[in-house]
Amino acid sequence: MPNKKKPYPLYPLVVATFAALAVILWGALFLIAPVWQFSAPPAAYIAPSADGEDVVDSSQAETLIDINTATEQELDRLPGIGPAKAAAIVAYRESHGPFTCLEEVTQVSGISASMVEQWAGLATVHTPGTTPTDFQEMGGAGFWKSRRAFLSTAN
Cβ atoms 78, 119 nearer than 8 A: yes
Compute φ and ψ for 90, nearest 5 degrees: -65, -40
Looking at residue 16, its pLDDT comes to: 94
Q: pLDDT averaged over the chain?
A: 75
Query: What does the buried/exposed string (b/e) look like for 77-111 if buried means 16 or more CB atoms within 10 Å of the residue's CB?
Result: ebeebeeebbebbbebbeeeebbeebebbeebeeb
If pLDDT is split at 50, 70 and 90, which confidence band does 113 have?
A: confident
The H-or-E segment that residue 12 falls in is helix 11-27
Q: What is the pLDDT of residues 4-49, one digit of tens each?
A: 777 778 888 899 999 999 999 888 877 776 665 556 665 666 666 6
Helix (H) or strand (E) holding 62: helix 58-63
pTM for the full predicted model? 0.46
Cα separation of 89 and 106, whole Å? 10
pLDDT at 114 over 80: yes
